[in-house]
Amino acid sequence: MQVGRIGVPASGGACFGSWARKWGAMQLRQSRVIGRAAALAGVLFATAACQEIESVILPGASSSASAPGVQSASAPGVQSASAPGVQSASAPGVQPAGDPGVQLGTTDFTVPGVTQFPSTGTAVGGRIEELRGELEGLQNKVREENASLQSVRSTIRTNAVAYNQNVAAMHTSLQVGTTPGNPDMVERWNRARAQLDQIGTDSSELNVLLNEVSASSAMAGYLLEAAQSTFAVRGAVDADHQQLAVLQDETSQTAVTIDRLLNELTGDVARTSGFTVLERNNMRALSVAVDNGQLIGTSLASLSSGVPAPAPIGGAQSLVGTRQPLVVIRFDRPNVDYNPVLYSAVSAALERRPNAAFDVVAVSPGGQQSRPNSARGRRYAEQVVRSLANMGLPLDRVGLAATASPDVAVDEVHVYVR
């Protein structure tokens, strides 16, 4: 926004000399408003539970215990402890990734208008006419900003509805079960990602609009200060002060409208940003479900919060044989389907301790074959780490290590919780 140059009549130069300082105050207010809006727009959404993990551990390395739903996953090489509250991959009550939608404001903002008066012919009257013109320009700018806001809101709502419907249809198919990597599901997933990307683009437009409204708010503050200071200028007639009082009242009403617009827009930015961040994580988890042909759950990122627990002293490899693992995956056959059990165990651990971290350890058979098998075992462990990342678990909560043990007959990957 450009602010018109302030004309100072020769007869009132001393009184108008303070306007430069008021303009500096207006700029300071603008920077504070923008800073507050940026801070609110960075709000992220996370869970905050904090309970100890009591029984989410494997009863024994040779035990056949498994999480609910593992039998239908046809993965005999995977073991995991059953934990209270853990649902199977197709259990009802799993919240779809697209629900709830984006909750945006609904106010359509209007400004009061500017009352026109005949010129009084005084220097003060000339200054009032200048301020009246600047207020008209500001109100026109606010009308444009409001129109842009309503348009972007409408676009976001439309895209969010389409995204939610698409994701809900995917969840319905995955809850029943479908073929792994079903091309129709892949096409739906790609369409949902494009819809979510569009919502992200709309969110960027809201951020641009937020900066514009912040500038309008600062301009309104400047006009209020200028109108107030004009009352002290010598050489005014009664009609000047009457017009100035009306101008000051209309400027105050405009400032209130702008502040309401700014507050509601700040909330829209925060909610839209939070929605896109959460749904991008959920889309990653949904891609794993599409690849497996069955629903796993929402993103693990929505369950994790706080500072991750520190790595164990002596390295994660020292845990093998001394601590019970959360999950043991035996790679005794091609294409071991471990994702459902892995997700159930890790999500249950995060529900009990949101700041939990995990160590993924490749355990190769000991003896003469330990050296050639160690590289293969590490590749298996890296595969498990990628699976956790696709489920939405932040990589700063995952450690990777490798070791050999004479107690295993085939390559295994152990997952430990910190």
Quick check: pTM over 0.85? no
At residue 344, does pLDDT exceed 70? Answer: yes
Render pLDDT for 196-222 as a digit per residue (tens, 0 to 9).
999 999 999 999 999 999 999 999 999
At residue 21, does pLDDT exceed 80? Answer: no
Confidence (pLDDT) at 71 = 30
> Most confidently modeled of 52-56, 101-105, 265-269?
265-269
Average pLDDT over residues 299-326: 85
Give the range among 83-87, 129-133, 288-292, 396-400 with minimum mean pLDDT. Answer: 83-87
At residue 357, does pLDDT exceed 70? Answer: yes
Indicate the pLDDT class of residue 126, thresholds 50, 70 and 90. Answer: very high
Average pLDDT over residues 3-16: 38
Average pLDDT over residues 54-81: 35
> Most confidently modeled of 29-43, 77-91, 214-228?
214-228
At residue 4, does pLDDT exceed 60? Answer: no
At residue 291, does pLDDT exceed 60? Answer: yes
Indicate the pLDDT class of residue 190, thresholds 50, 70 and 90. Answer: very high
Confidence (pLDDT) at 103 = 86
Average pLDDT over residues 339-348: 89
At residue 373, does pLDDT exceed 80? Answer: no
Class of domain 71-89+303-417: alpha beta
SS (H, E, C) the chain: CCCCCCCCCHHHCCHHHHHHHHHHHHHHHHHHHHHHHHHHHCCCCCCCCCCCCCCCCCCCCCCCCCCCCCHHHCCCCEEECCCCCCCCCCCCCCCCCCCCCCCCCCCCCCCCCCCCCCCCCCHHHHHHHHHHHHHHHHHHHHHHHHHHHHHHHHHHHHHHHHHHHHHHHHHHHHHHCCCCCCHHHHHHHHHHHHHHHHHHHHHHHHHHHHHHHHHHHHHHHHHHHHHHHHCCCCCCCHHHHHHHHHHHHHHHHHHHHHHHHHHHHHHHHHHHHHHHHHHHHHHHHHHHHHHHCCCCCCCHHHCCCCCCCCCCCCCHHHHCCCCCCCEEEECCCCCCCCHHHHHHHHHHHHHHCCCCCEEEEEEEECCCCHHHHHHHHHHHHHHHHHHHHHCCCCHHHEEEEEEEECCCCCCEEEEEEC
Give the range among 75-89, 114-128, 375-389 with minimum mean pLDDT. Answer: 75-89
Render pLDDT for 277-290 as a digit per residue (tens, 0 to 9).
888 888 888 888 88
User: Average per-residue pLDDT in the chain?
Assistant: 77
> Most confidently modeled of 34-38, 74-78, 249-253, 396-400?
249-253
Render pLDDT for 138-152 as a digit per residue (tens, 0 to 9).
999 999 999 999 999
Q: Which residue has the higher pLDDT, 75 or 178?
A: 178
Indicate the pLDDT class of residue 367, thresholds 50, 70 and 90. Answer: low
Confidence (pLDDT) at 144 = 96
Going from N- to C-terminal start, the domains of the chain cover 71-89+303-417, 116-292
